[in-house]
Amino acid sequence: MNPIQQCEQLVKEVYKHFDASHDFQHIERVRKNAFEIAAAEPYVDLEMIELAVLLHDVSDPKYVSNSEKQEEDIIMKQLSLPAEKVKQLKTLIRSISFNGGNEVVADSIEAQIVRDADRLDAIGAVGIARMFAYGGAKGRKLYDADETPRDNMSVEEYRTKETASVTHFHEKLLKLADGMLTKKGKELAKERHAFMEIFLQNLRKETGEHI
């Protein structure tokens, strides 16, 4: 069994315990996105990209406490990777998260590809479905016309305040297309972003609210 096969087997057990917004289907879609973006680049390390995709959410703070670093302490140790690759992989994973706009610089093409691939799954039809799946799992309102979307949040503020699901459009999802780093990622994001704009227009019509 190669490291990717072994990693996939191990992470599937972790994602079984997450809600539908961050389950293994999410990982499969991000992997598909990553391969599509990578195909447009002259040279990339596909093994690093695939491992990063598989591992990028296993220690997500929304599901795992800070003391449980599963990708480093449990899974990575079982993959028999050289120490240098483990270091690169950890750096790559850390560059993916949005963190309320406080993201780490993605300074390699692999990091840029995985970040764009993950963010593509946060927008468009699937992104909307995931947003409401997560909000439902957390018992959040669908929308709140009296809630003001936040800018310039700290990581802690982004993680701890439980805003309505539709507010998340304005705090994160509508910002992602402009932040794509690869040419292919930018191309793929356009249609998905436009779909979200149409969805919000229809939601405003149906609710009569300015949300």
For each of the domains in the chain, give its residue range(s) and CATH number, in order of start.
3-207 (1.10.3210.50)
Q: How far is CA 26 from CA 18, 22, 49, 53, in A?
A: 11, 6, 15, 10
Mean pLDDT value across residues 122-130: 98
Q: What is the pLDDT of residues 76-116, one digit of tens each?
A: 889 988 999 999 999 999 888 876 556 788 889 999 999 99
According to the model, what pLDDT value does residue 66 have? Answer: 64
Q: What is the pLDDT of residues 143-163, one digit of tens each?
A: 999 998 888 777 777 667 789
Tell me, rounded to whole angstroms, the distance of Cα 116 from its chain centroid.
9
One-letter amino acid of 137: A
Tell me, rounded to whole angstroms, the distance of Cα 54 from its chain centroid.
12
Is the model's pLDDT at 6 over the cut of 60?
yes
For the record, the structure tokens of 106 come out as 């993605």
- How many alpha carbons lie under 13 Å from residue 95 in its C-beta half-sphere? 22
Question: Average pLDDT, whole number, for the chain?
Answer: 91
According to the model, what pLDDT value does residue 102 have? Answer: 62
- What gap in Å lies between CA 194 and CA 177, rounded to an integer? 10
One-letter amino acid of 165: S
